Each structure stands twice: as structure tokens, then as C-alpha cells.
Structure 1
């Protein structure tokens, strides 16, 4: 695997990010955003291949990895990591760029692309639902609602006490075991536990869920339906590639059904035999899909 440089970059948004950087700055820029509960290491298998022809930037997002972990849920509303993303691009002097996101990184990528079409030239999403499609599915699709109840658990202010009681290693097993092949994870466990162990690290990661406005009704509940769920919604104007691992049990394939209506220039690549953490579960297939589409 090719090496990448790790830099500590202070941003005007008030955080310092730990950022993996690879490739020639003269090449087209690609920014990779990880999700919960990971770091730039999500992309450890993609960075070397992308860096051959691209300038690759993969930050630990705020609250994750070895980046700053500001206190307070208000520091983890989605606009904050979007601000970090744009500030990081400014710091590195890159113009329009390709944005890639998985899980929470994908949620930030959708939002950033919708709000900043002048900065984000192309969008690549890996198992991360479109914001409107996801919220609608939580009201209309019982299976997706059931699968998303972990979000409610993570928002519980006593969740850290639960993790303290069972231990960080047990939480590691619970976080991943339902969603991937545990054998793939074992060699990576020390790196993850090192990222999660510092004081406040777990709370910072969980605050992404607590700072989100996504409504997660309980199974069987019939809450009042937000008017905006059925109102017009702006399209994604960039060309977009959506890579979806079809065995994801947290974010179900129903997330693909309505996408063409909101992403006019859409390419979908389905990966049949993989779960949610597909960037490292099936790294060759993800890398191949990205490189072919970028070409």
C-alpha cells in the first residue's frame, strides 16, 4: 500500500483536523469523507489507487479519529462538518473537487453538494442515503424504520454509561458485528480502540446523531408527518455515482428506489455480497467503481 502523509490542519471553523493526503497537488482533487465510527482509515484501500491520478484528501472529521472533539451537541449539527470541508479545501488551495462520502460522510457529502454546486464538481456516495429519501423512508417503510432504531439508542444521554458498563471492546464488537465480517475487523481493532479511547471521544462521535434533525419514529408509532416530506425538493445538479452494498442491514436498498427523481445525472453500482462497511469489506469493487466512473 502506498504511503500517505498525515497533517494536522487548523481551520478557521475552530477545529484542527487530522488529514491524510496523497498524490500530486497538480492532479484533480478528490476529498474522501468517512462515517461513524471511523476515520480516514475507512479509505485505506482506496487512497493509494486514487492517488496515482488524483490529489487525495481524507480527513478525520470533527469528533472522530485524531481530530478535534469540541464539546456540546451544537458543534455537531451537519452544517459544522460542511463548513470544515469547505475550509479544508480553501486551506489546501483546491478549486472544484470530487467529493466522496460513506455513511455520515455521505450525509455531509449530499448536503455539501446540494448547497455548494460551485465547489463540488462531482459526487460519489457509498451507502449513505439522500436526505429526503431517507427521512421519507423512516415514515413510510417499516423495515427501514426498524433498522434505524440504533439512532435513537445513540441519542440517549445515558448511552456512554452503557458502553462504560460493557467495555469499549464489547462496544466495538456490537458496533460492527451485525454489519460486517468480524474476521476482517480483527487486525484493525487496535487502531479503532486507540481512536475511541481518549476522554470524550465516544461522546463526540455520538453527538453526530444527537446533532442531527432526522426524525426516527418508533416502530408502530404514527407521528405527525412533516409537510416538507411531500413538498418539492431541489435536485442534485452534479453528476453522481452511488455505490450501494445490497446486504447493508442498517441502510436498506429501499434508499435507491426514489433517487432518480432527485439526482438527474445518476449512476448506480450495486455490490451484491457486501454490507454497510463496503469500502474495506469489498475494497477492490469499490475502488474499481470509483476509478471507472471518474475516468
Structure 2
């Protein structure tokens, strides 16, 4: 599908895949790191049969705008893009679907903008409180998340060009993938990552995040909010979880029902990138749930 370039009121331009009837219920699909709208390449055609589907390249990714400052990638800026995108398309309320970092944005948007987010679908993306708790309380999750500290080191950016992108593809990305990536798919990733400023912009999502990632042997002060009341997600919510995810462990599902009263969890066989590795299973879960 060709992409539509939209200028948003937040000051960024996003490339967006649009599909389906404009008068159908709206679904907005948010990708994560290090991807693009292509995360949903096997999902969009089916959803577009009976939904208005919107799948942006979020700020910093592919050929969308790449603001220079780290703070430009703070969660509130990304949520503002989401709402501005819906406004630009004349969409009031919508079902929001997010994977990985897109899921982090989706959790935040559901909590902060229930007037706009009607229903929520999360695919392998942790609830912010559950994730932060697990980084303090679960040694396995803490160990699995040390890559975040590496990604926050701006010293790695200079090496992420040319052959450095090939090394990133092979050593950092492919280790979380359970099927081969080659041909057009590999070329598309390398093309998106090689856009000027793209790797720095994508990594700035990690740098702008307030998530605390203690070192494996560290005993840092425990933030008070981890044990304080936390606002519930009020939307009807589906969580689809690839149980072989090596970065986000099954602990992310523990205690989730206390924070999301209207929750359905669908566990499926697959790794972190289930939207394109196991699209039939993801789609089946979404359709059973009522999309």
C-alpha cells in the first residue's frame, strides 16, 4: 500500500498507511522498535475488510520526522502525535492496537485519553507499572532488560551506519526473531534504518523514557509509586502474548488483571515479533475478542 504523508498539529510529519472504508470503525496500529508500519503487513488486509485502518510510521522511524532532542521522544509527545493523527483524519474514538514500544504508547494513551481510546489491544508490550516492578523484583526480567541501558548509551550511534547496521541486524535484532529475515524484508529494514538520523531517533525513545533499569547486582532505592495505588485501565482490553519472548518475560502478565478490570489474555506460541511471525494467531485472537 502507498503511504500518505500527514502534517500533524504537533509539528511532525508522519507517513501513514491507510486502508479500509472511511465510514467503518477505526483501528489505529502502533509499531514498536525497530520497525515501522510494516509490523502490521499481514494484519492490515484482514482488518481493512470491516475497519478503517491507520498504521503510521511513528516519529523517528523510517521517513517520518525526526526531531533532534531526546526529550522530543518522551511518552507525552508520542501520545500527542497519536491524538493529532486521529484529529487529522477526523477520527473521534478508536480501537488502539500497539506492539512493543507502540504498546507502551497504547497503555499510556488508554490511561490518559479514555475519551478517545475506546478499546485497547496490546501485543507483547508490558503495562508500565508491571514492567517497572519487575525490573526491581524479578532478576530474570532485570537481566533480560539490560539492553535498554546499552541503547541509552549515545556512544553507539556513530557505529550504526553501513556495515554497523548489518551487525545490528544480525546480532541485536535477529536474536529475538524465530524465523529467517531475508530478501525484501531485510532490505526494507536496512532502508528504514539507514534514513538520516533514524537510528539515533529510534534509540531516543529509550533515552527519553523514565523507566529505571537497575544493573543486575544493584540494589537501588525503591520508588514509592511501585507500591502505591495505580489508576486502572478502564477500556475493554485484549492482551496477546507470544510466550517465547526473550526480552519481555511472562512475568509481565502477573497481576495484570488487578490493573485492567476488563481484561482478556490470549497466549500464543511465538516470540516477540508475533504480529508478523504469527499473524494468523494474532488475528484469530483479535477476531475472537470482537474486532
The TM-score, its normalising length taken from structure 2, stands at 0.97
User: Could you give the per-residue CA deviations for residues 133-169 of structure 1, whole angstroms, max 9, x where no partner exists?
Assistant: 0000000000000000000000001011343496211
- Indicate the residue corresponding to 1:15 in structure 2: 12
Of residues 33, 38, 52, the one that matches 1:36 is 33
- Structure 2 SS opposite 1:158: helix
Alignment of 1:234-249 (within 5 A): 234-249=231-246
C-alpha contact (below 8 Å) 1:43/1:279 kept by paired residues: yes
- Structure 2 SS opposite 1:178: helix
Does structure 1 residue 281 correspond to structure 2 residue 282?
no
In 1, Cα distance between equivalents of 2:164 and 2:227: 43
- Indicate the residue corresponding to 1:65 in structure 2: 62
- Indicate the residue corresponding to 2:185 in structure 1: 188
> Aligned residue pairs: how many?
291
In 1, Cα distance between equivalents of 2:225 and 2:186: 42
Residue 294 of structure 1 and its aligned partner are, at CA, apart by: 2.2
C-alpha contact (below 8 Å) 1:133/1:259 kept by paired residues: yes
Does structure 1 residue 202 correspond to structure 2 residue 199?
yes
Of residues 262, 265, 279, the one that matches 1:265 is 262
| Runs of 4 or more consecutive aligned structure 1 residues displaced over 2 Å after TM superposition | 161-166, 184-187
C-alpha contact (below 8 Å) 1:76/1:208 kept by paired residues: yes
User: Could you give the per-residue CA deviations for residues 231-289 of structure 1, whole angstroms, max 9, x where no partner exists?
Assistant: 000000000000000000000010001100100000000012x1001101111101111
In 2, Cα distance between equivalents of 1:163 and 1:190: 16
Does structure 1 residue 216 correspond to structure 2 residue 225?
no
In 1, Cα distance between equivalents of 2:21 and 2:171: 39
C-alpha contact (below 8 Å) 2:63/2:195 kept by paired residues: no
In 2, Cα distance between equivalents of 1:46 and 1:62: 21
RMSD of the alignment, in Å? 1.2
In 2, Cα distance between equivalents of 1:21 and 1:222: 47
- Structure 1 SS opposite 2:55: strand
C-alpha contact (below 8 Å) 1:176/1:182 kept by paired residues: no
The TM-score, its normalising length taken from structure 1, stands at 0.96
In 2, Cα distance between equivalents of 1:157 and 1:271: 35
- Indicate the residue corresponding to 1:122 in structure 2: 119
In 1, Cα distance between equivalents of 2:163 and 2:3: 33
User: Could you give the per-residue CA deviations for residues 202-253 of structure 1, whole angstroms, max 9, x where no partner exists?
Assistant: 1000000000000000001000000011000000000000000000000001
Of residues 128, 151, 154, the one that matches 1:154 is 151
Residue 181 of structure 1 and its aligned partner are, at CA, apart by: 2.5
Alignment gaps of 5+ in structure 1: none
C-alpha contact (below 8 Å) 1:6/1:18 kept by paired residues: yes
- Indicate the residue corresponding to 2:247 in structure 1: 250
